[in-house]
Structure 1
């Protein structure tokens, strides 16, 4: 039995150890989590203990029902051989049987109550100690739950857990969208009318593109980006590709290593939003009309 308990404990601890990819320290503000883990472990061991007790109870009930002759209470006074004494000792009610409140059928007469209803006799058989221990254990668990969650506020109630999970999900969603935005390229970029993305593209354009294209994209050294004429294509994919790889032979550098894909997409969509704005002192059209 000790080996079974030790093996089960090792299985639980091994599962908990391999379930996490890397250990994480429990913050001091979440001390209740450590307490709940300890309570859960104790509860699991208690369930294992109860299961062992029930197995022994079933075995003892089987012996008491089908083999009452071996459920003796007192040893024989006559001398006996060692093997007979050993068999008799094994047949005595064990500590477990006493703890479970199991008694042989031979003692049923002594357990009868005084009440008699048409020949139906009630046995005075109290509730087993293991059941009462389990019952009192639930009371202790309830008291601990009350103190942890409603008195000392070490634990989070369901509404707070829900709010925290939603906030965590929102943060993870933002991180996912950011990573997805940076995974865009010239084949997957799409036209966007999102004001936030266009504003970000405008800020990047003002920082990096104004010297060659002007503060309103009217064209300085580089071409005018507000008309319908394009040297290397006016679709969002073509503009993205031009910004990303540049046109080295014409002095347009590659921005692939200086800007993220999200920033390049923002600049491309900002340039598309300037179409037809007709800024002052716009450079003459260049390229083909699209």
Structure 2
């Protein structure tokens, strides 16, 4: 009788250990949650500029948020993005277009679980640098001549727009005329303060980055974009031949593919 009881007790212990092992194995095998992709538009654009990229990412199973970048100042816009990230659970991939690169570079990286940064025809500043300064670091930008009359604001700063008649060639030369005209009408202004405010310590100093841009960018010279991508030690740099500054509209699949690579990186 004692022998039978001992055998039953041993069987119970082994069964419980096996059950725990199986449960642990299932837990290990469970796939990790996909990071949320946060898309940050730049100056003279809005969140709709990400529509095709966002649709591609959602079809692949990624949660996506297109942030409404205020375009007021680097510090203000980065603080807004910090507040938005507080509402998102789990890891995120930050994607910035143009001036949006200034914003994702200035988030408080210690507050959030940021897996990767993706710069889409975007500024990747070092401490103390400005968007205006980086645009002028290498020749080729024709943005200044394409701007319309500044709109004076009560705080002494000015809102800047691209002239609608020049928007297509300046900003979106490889986008069909109809969508380019609609984008020109819906463009969001950026303040001169935002373009001239110095960046803080860059998030790319501690977070891995990726970069994609077009060879015919007329806002930020391609040589500036190459320089910043090299300096940020981007894991992959994709230069799309003939693409304009609005590269995520004209080449959404290539841009989405690079974002997925960053999101799935280890």
TM-score class, shorter: under 0.3
Higher helix proportion (structure 1 or 2):
1
Higher strand proportion (structure 1 or 2):
2
Tell which has more relative contact order, 1 or 2 (C-alpha 8 A, sep 6+): 2
TM-score by length of 1: 0.21
Higher Cα radius of gyration: 1
